[in-house]
Copies of this chain bind each other. A is one copy, B any other.
Amino acid sequence: MIDLSIKIGHLNMKNPVMTASGTFGYGEEYRDFLDLGRLGGIVVKAVTGNNRDGNAYPRMAETPSGMLNSVGLQNKGVDYFVKEIYPLIKDFDTNVIVNISGSTIEEYVAVAEKINELENIPAIELNISCPNVKQGGMAFGTISSTATEVTAAVRKVYKKDLIVKLSPNVTSIQEMAKAVVDGGADIISLINTLLGMAIDADKRRPVLSTVTGGLSGPAIKPVALRMVWQVSKAVKVPVIGMGGIMNATDAIEFILAGASAVQVGTANFIDPGVTMKIVEGIEAWCGLHKVGSVKELVGGLIS
């Protein structure tokens, strides 16, 4: 028997495979394709203080081995979430984590306070990195002092596990990691999307209504792996790695680079059952390589 379980912070996970915020809805749409109870955790899409319509269409551009999105945090706000969504998801047999976002520190704090009351939500993931929203989003995740500040403010009101999700659009990811640990982060997750742009040459226009958007998918995997490796060496808190994971080998690469768990994002769009294959693939890989517990692999790079 191979032991796939992992503990990060206070989160007990059946296996290290989670789903990434914004790519898994509230889990509901995936029920046709997989058993949510077999996931290590799911991170639901960003919740903000109030209703947000998000950005105008078009919000998507396909790129080589990836895609750009500029969804822009479309959601109905935290009160709607607490009242309408939480009851639907609170009994999922997995760790249900809420990704929260805001334009001001006050908004982050307000949302965190309300989520803190929800018994079956063991952790929040602070999205200080979404590049789609003009105000706030960009700045929090790219200036270390601001990152510390927002983390500390949320830390004060949030009593359970506080995951902070880093933006890759920075000169030094280690500096950002240290900044959020200083602010009180229990866990770091990374990477969010790289800021990119697509142009439709024939129409002579940007493809996205917002001109720029967030790049995800296998194209960003090398950057993500590098950052996970750098961060896991720079800080002591556990790291959740993501960026372009399409299969079990990719997941194992992130774990070897230092991640205690991984999140799968864009791959879910192409194969909504991919996370199950990744769980099974990690198990098979461990069997083949005579690894008894996936814990042994975390940061297990020979270099």
Residues in A lying within 8 Å of B, measured CB to CB? 61, 63-66, 68, 142, 169-171, 194-199, 201-206, 211-212, 215, 217-223, 225-226, 229, 244, 249, 252-253, 256-257, 285, 289, 300-303
B199 near A212: Cβ-Cβ < 8 Å = no
How many copies of the chain does the oligomer comprise? 2
Bound together, the chains give a CA A60 to CA B231 distance in angstroms of: 23
19 contacts between A and B (CB under 8 A): A61-B222, A64-B217, A64-B218, A64-B221, A64-B244, A65-B219, A142-B171, A194-B222, A194-B223, A196-B222, A196-B223, A197-B225, A197-B229, A199-B253, A201-B249, A204-B300, A205-B301, A206-B301, A215-B222
Identify the closest chain B residue to A215 (Cβ).
Answer: B222
Given A249-B201, A300-B204: A222 and B68 interface contact (C-beta under 8 Å): yes
Bound together, the chains give a CA A226 to CA B138 distance in angstroms of: 15
CB < 8 Å neighbour of A199 from B169, B215, B225: B225
A205 near B302: Cβ-Cβ < 8 Å = yes
CB-defined contacts of A199 to chain B, threshold 8 Å: 225, 253, 256-257, 301
Of A195, A222, A226, A303, most buried by chain B (CB within 10 Å of CB) is A222
A267 CB → nearest B CB, Å: 12
Bound together, the chains give a CA A205 to CA B301 distance in angstroms of: 6
Identify the closest chain B residue to A198 (Cβ).
Answer: B222
CB-defined contacts of A194 to chain B, threshold 8 Å: 222-223
CB-defined contacts of A201 to chain B, threshold 8 Å: 249, 252-253, 256, 285
CB-defined contacts of A249 to chain B, threshold 8 Å: 201
B197 near A257: Cβ-Cβ < 8 Å = yes
Bound together, the chains give a CA A25 to CA B116 distance in angstroms of: 59
Bound together, the chains give a CA A156 to CA B223 distance in angstroms of: 36
Bound together, the chains give a CA A202 to CA B303 distance in angstroms of: 14
Identify the closest chain B residue to A254 (Cβ).
Answer: B199
A66 near B219: Cβ-Cβ < 8 Å = yes
Bound together, the chains give a CA A43 to CA B215 distance in angstroms of: 29
Identify the closest chain B residue to A229 (Cβ).
Answer: B197
Bound together, the chains give a CA A253 to CA B229 distance in angstroms of: 33
Of A171, A196, A226, A289, most buried by chain B (CB within 10 Å of CB) is A226
